[in-house]
Amino acid sequence: MVSMLKTKAWTTFTWVFVSLTVANIVAHNAFTEPNIFTAQNYIFHVITKPLIMISALYFLTKHLSHKEYQNWILVAFIYSLLGDVLIMGQGINDLFFIGGMAAFFVVQASYIIYFHRSAGAWFGRSTAIQVLQAVMLLYAIGFYVLIFPNLGTFWIPVLLYQTIIGIMVVVALGRFGRVNFDAFAYTLIGAFGLLLANSIFAYNKFIGDITFASFLITLSYCFAQYMILKGFVTLRAPQPSRA
């Protein structure tokens, strides 16, 4: 049986996804630079950003609808699309930001359910993995403490989101040895990518400007979603749990 990753469908999707990501990065950076801002750049940004996750949704529903746990990935991708659209409006009203966070909260919750059900456990089998899980929780707590003084009225939604994204990474780590290695590795890279995108976004919004922030956020976020999908493509039946 030919691996899905070697099919024309996956190759075509990859080219489309990467092309849309690059196009959006170019348009968004042009949009955020006053010297080169044009209405065309803004429109291109608004069009290409939703298309990134729409392409992932199309591939998921057309080629992977038969796979177990597909519904949880589907929910995550749909709410990722919604979150992308809402976050684009955060400069208009804070409600867009809150709505975007709520949408991405559902995304992380869906990933947590998928990660847990596909592995059958929350925590790692080995001490090394458990230590890494503890480090990730400490990072989530420490980062929240860092940005807390600047959160103002956002302290509750940011706390909730910081908590759930930390749990998402912890559960992704806990799959080691419980699913095939390719699925574990690709998915873990994606989980770290989402954590990185969130960290850059939050720091840039609440602490201070980061050079090339929009580029780094979009790149890490899109790469993360791609790798989580790749991990799902390569997922085989889970190994018996010893937990």
Stretch 82-88: mean pLDDT, rounded?
Answer: 91
Paired tokens of 67: 């796979």
Stretch 107-124: mean pLDDT, rounded?
Answer: 90
Stretch 90-101: mean pLDDT, rounded?
Answer: 84
pLDDT for position 243? 40
pLDDT for position 1? 44
Does residue 237 register a pLDDT over 70? no
Stretch 64-78: mean pLDDT, rounded?
Answer: 91
Does residue 15 register a pLDDT over 90? yes
Transcribe 53-71 into DSSP letters: HHHHHHHHHHHSTTSTTHH
Among residues 162, 152, 226, the alpha carbon closest in space to that of 189 is found at 226
Among residues 80, 130, 129, 135, the alpha carbon closest in space to that of 108 is found at 80
pLDDT for position 32? 52
CA–CA separation, 34 and 27 (whole Å)? 13
User: Average model confidence (pLDDT) for the chain?
Assistant: 87
Does residue 50 register a pLDDT over 90? yes
Does residue 67 register a pLDDT over 80? yes
Higher pLDDT, 164 or 65: 164
pLDDT, tens digit (0-9, with 9 covering 90-100), for 152-207: 888 899 999 999 999 999 999 999 988 999 999 999 999 999 999 999 999 998 99
Range of weakest confidence among 12-21, 93-102, 194-203: 93-102
pLDDT interval class at 66 (50, 70, 90): confident
Among residues 105, 109, 125, the alpha carbon closest in space to that of 117 is found at 109
